[in-house]
Amino acid sequence: MMAAPVSLLLEFGGGAELLFDGIKKHHVTLPIQTEPWDVRHLLTWIRENLLKERPELFIQGESVRPGILVLINDSDWELMGELDYTLQNQDNVVFISTLHGDYVLPGRGKWVPLCASYTFVQENAPQYNGSGTAGEESSPLAQTFDRVLLSCKEALFIP
C-alpha cells in the first residue's frame, strides 16, 4: 500500500534558519513513497532538498547535530520516539539551534555590515584562532585541542 503524501510545516530557529537561506518557515509536501515517512527519512529529505549550505552544521550521522532541539507539534521529540516517529499529515516540526558562532556564512547580505574588510577576512578566516576569550596567543595547546578532543571522544566511545 502506498502512503499518502504528507504535508508539513517545518520551522528553523535559533540561527539554524541561516542554513536555509534565512527562511524560518517552510511549508513542504513530501512525495509519495512505499514506506511511511518517519523523522529519519525527513532529515535525509531536508538534507537533499532544503539545506543550502554546510550540511554538517545541521546533520550528524543520521540524526541532527547535538545541540539542535527538535519539537514535533510543540513537544520535545525525545518524547515522540525521535528518529522513529511516523510523521502525520499537517505535522509541525521545529528545529531550534542552541549552538554558537557556527552559522556565520561568508558573503551573506545580513552579515556584511563592514563590507570590504569583513568579506575579505571571512574568506581567509582560519578554522579557529585560539583566542576565543582569554586573550592568549594561539598556543601549542590550542593546536592540540582537536587532538585532545578526538582522543576524549575515542575514550568515551562517542562516534
- Interface positions with another protein (CB under 8 A): 13-15, 65-67, 69, 71, 74-76, 78-80, 94, 96, 98-104, 110-111, 113-114, 117-118, 120-122, 124-137, 139, 141-142, 145-146, 148-149, 152-153, 156, 158
Q: Is 124 helix (H, G, I), strand (E, B) or coil?
A: coil
CA dihedral 22, 83, 79, 103 (to 10 degrees): -30
Written as one letter, the residue type at 39 is: V
Is residue 111 within 8 Å of 84, Cβ to Cβ?
A: no
Q: Residue 10 CB, nearest distance to another protein (Å)?
A: 15
Q: Is 7 helix (H, G, I), strand (E, B) or coil?
A: strand
Q: Residue 157 CB, nearest distance to another protein (Å)?
A: 8
CB nearer to another protein: pick between 29 and 88: 88
CB nearer to another protein: pick between 1 and 116: 116
